[in-house]
Amino acid sequence: MKFNRSKRSERSEKLTRAVFVTICVAVVTCVTARAGEITSSQQQCLAKGKRSERGGWIYLHVEGDAKERGFQHGYLLAPEIADGIRTTAAIWEHDSAMTWAWLVEHAASMFTSKMDAENLAELDGMVEGMKAAGRLTTRNDLIAYNGSIELTEYWWPQELKKIKDAPPPSVKESCSSFIATGKMTRDGNIVLGHNTMMDYEGTFPNVIEDIVPSHGHRIMWQTQAGWIHSGTDFFITDAGLVGSETTIGSFEGFDTNGVPEFTRMRRACQDAKSIDEWCAIMKKENNGGYANAWLLGDIHTREIARLELGLREIGLERKHDGYFVGSNVAEDRKLLRLETNAKDTDIRESSVARRVRWKQLMKQNAGKIDLAMAKQFEGDHFDTYQGTVKAGGRSLCGHFELDRDAVGWGWPGVPYACCGTIDGKVVDATMAQKMSFAARWGSACGKAFDAKQYLDAHPQFDWMSGLLRSRASEPWTNFAAGE
């Protein structure tokens, strides 16, 4: 009996292996068949692109003309782009009670005619790349997806006021950033640090993209799969420019006749040879969407600048010695008073507390700032209101999810809000010269986030199930263009 059972088991195992091999062959044949559908010109195009992953990041290299770059991006990141559109649509429909199709229609009507031909061609290439990878989308979907920040946080509040008489919701996108040069830094040249503060639900901007266009400047930046701009807005270019931004808090204003921010930002990074040119492109036909304080630097001249771009009001400061910081409080007095409702002295507010902390760190570390120190700054947990080290909504590395009583930012008055810092990036002139920077995914301090644990503890956010994702503790990782 034992012998017979063993024989039957052996025959069963052989049959199982045979079935497994048959299935594997079928899968390989299917994949090969799909690959065979790509034309020779598409294969040549894809040979220029590259995708790899490490440290929680996706590294993407694209090159060529606009349509080629779009095809490479769309094909290599097709699953992530499809998921990005899905989650963006789901969050939009939950927050607004309007359909994604409705937003897509309005975005296309408002934005398409104001976008330049090259940006549109890149989106068309992305549509074709996704199709070749078995994922279908449209140019209009991608336009709404690329413009989602200015649509949901700037245009929609204006539209909502026409429907219901209510104050506009607070802008949710935020960051903590600094740029320093001259006597402030260890080597006298530029050091830039930035972390992204945003809602945790939805798609992650965990793509580091190296763009080699057929004309214009090479760009390396952080972005989100499917975007032709950065969005999180940390970038370096081979013109020697480096930059970041922090959102101007409590801002209100939007011009439907202007050029969308996401297309201006892309043109500025690719086309500008200097800080002057970069700022000029951003200011031309400004629509007020995604109103930011841009921290800019030129590693060749060692000059830094802060461009605060509202709708009507614009502030521009420049220096060769000193620093600029950003924490979502406008520094230009007219912009602050005329285009925002921000309080610039209430230290209970996240933006004000972080602004105070930035000034403390700059004063304490003048003449010593370098990459190592920049990493520490972006992961800092000191709460200037409470006067203690505490990871929460008022720390430079924000953790609203841990804070019961944080005031301000995108979820005012909401305990344990599902938002905070999701990354950290730093660069100095030496790294920028080599088209490289250091980045940390998950949070700037390295703290992990467990989505299930969070939802179990805070069931009031159970609508985020399927949209909220965990982030592991990741190390600081160096990335270089062309790697």
Q: Does residue 374 register a pLDDT over 90?
A: yes
Domain boundary assignment for the chain: 45-52+60-149, 173-480
CATH number at 45-52+60-149: 1.10.439
Beta carbons of 37 and 185 less than 8 angstroms apart = no
| Shared fold status for 45-52+60-149 and 173-480 | no
Q: Using pLDDT thresholds of 50, 70 and 90, give the confidence band for residue 297.
A: very high
pLDDT for 323 equals 98
Determine phi and psi for 135, rounding to 5 degrees: -120, 125
pLDDT of amino acid 411 = 73
Q: Give the residue from 250, 194, 201 showing the smallest Cα distance to 222.
A: 194
The pLDDT score that the predictor gives to residue 134 is: 97
pLDDT at residue 138 tops 80: yes
* pTM over cut 0.75: yes
Residue 336, pLDDT > 80, answer yes
Beta strand 219-223 with 322-326: parallel, antiparallel or unpaired? Answer: unpaired
> What pLDDT was estimated at residue 168?
62
Quote the mean pLDDT of the chain: 91
**Mean pLDDT to the nearest integer, 18-31:** 34
Q: What's the mean pLDDT in 93-116? A: 97
Please give the pLDDT value at position 149. Answer: 95
Confidence of residue 413 (pLDDT cuts 50, 70, 90): confident
Judge residue 159's burial from the number of C-beta atoms within 10 Å of its C-beta, 0-12 exposed, 13-18 middle, 19 or more buried: middle
Q: What are phi and psi of 214, to 5 degrees?
A: -70, -20
Residue 34 banded pLDDT, cuts 50, 70, 90: very low
- Percentage of the chain beyond pLDDT 90 is 85
* Separation between Cα atoms, residue 447 and residue 454, nearest integer Å: 14
Q: State what percent of residues in the chain have pLDDT above 70.
A: 90
Q: How confident is the model at residue 163 (pLDDT cuts 50, 70, 90)?
A: confident
77-101: pLDDT as tens digits: 999 999 999 999 999 999 999 999 9
Cα separation, 14 vs 12, in Å, equals: 5
Give the confidence band of 236 by pLDDT, cuts at 50, 70, 90. Answer: very high
User: Stretch 391-412: mean pLDDT, rounded?
Assistant: 86
pLDDT value at position 4? 36
Mean pLDDT of 265-287: 98
Topology (CATH level 3) of domain 173-480? Penicillin V Acylase; Chain A (3.60.60)
Confidence band, pLDDT 50/70/90 cuts, at residue 27: very low
